Amino acid sequence: MSEEVYQAIPHRPPFLFLDEILDATEDSVRASRTIRSNEPQFEGHYPGNPIMPGVLLCESVFQAGAVFLSRKLEVDVAGDTTKRTPVLTRIQDAKFKSIVRPGDNLIIEASHTETLGQFYFLKGKVTRDGKTVMTVKFSLAMVEAESTT
């Protein structure tokens, strides 16, 4: 896991599904992830025939969206020191086109489509070897982080 990912979002193993940020633009982010056979979900999700749960593929896209949003807001609200956390507010049209297994190298993309107030609408996809594995539309909101003191 790259330090860049750790700095961008609050997620940590075993619930971090991005290895590295490949590139980011004003409207999108691309990240990578290698699926490992020793990940805890494979102990119970089709033992002996490990298949990456679709919900975790979605989560990888949501995390890429959170990376995008944290970078965008860092630029847009320079000087605002309020700690915010990206929170999922909507999932639409998740479509799974292929099975993902341990050893697969994935590219995870999220791109911004619209902003309405505090809600950021995005679309995302996961690809393997240039072929689409899944697509999803979703929205995130940045909420003020609760104090842990």
Tokens of 19: 């290895």
User: Which pLDDT score, from 0 to 100, does residue 75 have?
Assistant: 53
* Predicted local confidence at residue 72, as pLDDT: 86
Predicted pLDDT of residue 147: 63
Domains and CATH numbers, the chain: 3-144 (3.10.129.10)
Residue spans of the chain under pLDDT 70: 1, 75-82, 147-149
Q: Which residues are designated catalytic?
A: 45
pLDDT digits (tens, 9 = 90+) for 57-84: 999 999 999 999 988 887 554 455 567 7
pLDDT of residue 73: 83
